[in-house]
Structures are given as C-alpha cells and as structure tokens.
Amino acid sequence: MVNIEIDKVAYKMATRKLAHIPKGINKATKNAINRTVSATNKFIHTELKDTYTVKVSEIKHGLEKENATISKLSGKVVASGPVLRASGFKNDTSIPKEYVVSIKRRGKRALPEQAFVAKMPKNNGKQRRQHKGIFIRKGKERLGIRELTGPSIPGMASSKPIRGKVTKVMYKKFNERFDHEVNYLLSKK
C-alpha cells in the first residue's frame, strides 16, 4: 500500500487562493486524486503487461479503482484475486510431454514430463462450462491431480521493481494534477 501525503505548505497556499470558491480546495483535491488513481491504474496495467506474459483480461479483472468524492478525499487502486492458472500465461502446449510456460517476458520454464493438458468441467449454476488447464498428478495414483499455477495479480503488482515505479509515478502525477486543478479553478472565476 502506498500513501501520498500532500505538501502542507502548498496545500495552505492553495487553500488561501481558493478561499473565495465554495469547496474549492476539496474540488481541486478530489480531481487531482481521481486523475492520479486513473493514471496509476493504467501504469500498473502497462507494467504488468510489459513485465509478465499474463493475459490482459486477467489483469483487468484483478485491478479495481475507487475514486474520491468531495466528502471523502481518498482514492485507491486495489489489486486482488487468486493465483492465476498456468494456462493464463503465455504457454506452448502443442507438443505433448514438452509443455512450456512463460511467466515473465524474459524467461521460459519447461514443465515436468508428467504435466498434461485437459478440459475440466466447471459447474456454474445452470450452465456447464469447461476450462482448459495444465495439470500434474499429485502422486502415482490416477486420481488426485492439481492444476499448475503462477503468481497472482497482487503478487505481481507488489513486486519491488513495479512498486517502486508506481510510487514515483503517483507522487509525480498527484503534484502535477493538484497544481493544474488549482490553476484551473482560479481561471474559471
């Protein structure tokens, strides 16, 4: 979790400048927070897409944003979700017994010979759906299989390199937007 605190001197100056506008400082802060949240969400999405071979749909489902309001001046981008299936990453399952999964853009990982691809039923209420996955047996017995998985969206988003870049982008974007929003409100009146 990354918290951004506004510069107190800049906030006091902006409050004085916007004193004649009703709820002016709250409007400027809300707009700056919302723009920062949107930019951060897009930046995290791009970083995950560039670093990992995860499918874009998995990233979209794993990132949620919550915008600020005038009465609640806080916003957030939340990465959530379970570990992703190995089939959710770039994989090559065309040659039996030689399956390869690539989690990061720079590397590939050969799976054990015992790995196999299967369609498993997912009973979802009235609809019977199936998903294609890469599985491996737990032991020597026929029954007892587990699906191979990779990291989760929160795990990938909170890795040190990505988290550091996100923090820098958030600070820069918020300061830019706050100054812009204050000047915008001043130019309207």
pLDDT digits (tens, 9 = 90+) for 26-46: 999 999 999 999 999 999 999
Q: What one-character-per-residue DSSP string does 36-78 give?
A: HHHHHHHHHHHHHHHHB---HHHHHHHEEEE---SSS---EEE
Give mean pLDDT, residues 137-148.
79
Residue 42: per-residue pLDDT: 95
- Cα–Cα distance for residue pair 14/182, rounded to 1 Å: 7
CA angle centred on 50, ends 44 and 54, rounded to 5°:
85
- Residue 8 pLDDT grade (very low, low, confident, very high; cuts 50, 70, 90): confident
Q: Output phi, psi for 20, to 5 deg.
A: -80, -10
Give mean pLDDT, residues 128-137.
78
* Residues 33, 75 contacting (CB under 8 angstroms): yes
Give 139 or 166, the one with higher predicted confidence.
166
Give 160 or 125, the one with higher predicted confidence.
160
Residue 1: per-residue pLDDT: 62
- Residue 127 pLDDT grade (very low, low, confident, very high; cuts 50, 70, 90): low
CA 50 to chain CA mean position, Å: 12
* Residues 44, 166 contacting (CB under 8 angstroms): yes
Order of all β-strands in the sheet with 109-110: 90-92, 100-102, 109-110
Residue 150: per-residue pLDDT: 85
Q: Which of 137, 159, 185 is nearest to 51 (CA)?
A: 159
- Residue 126 pLDDT grade (very low, low, confident, very high; cuts 50, 70, 90): low
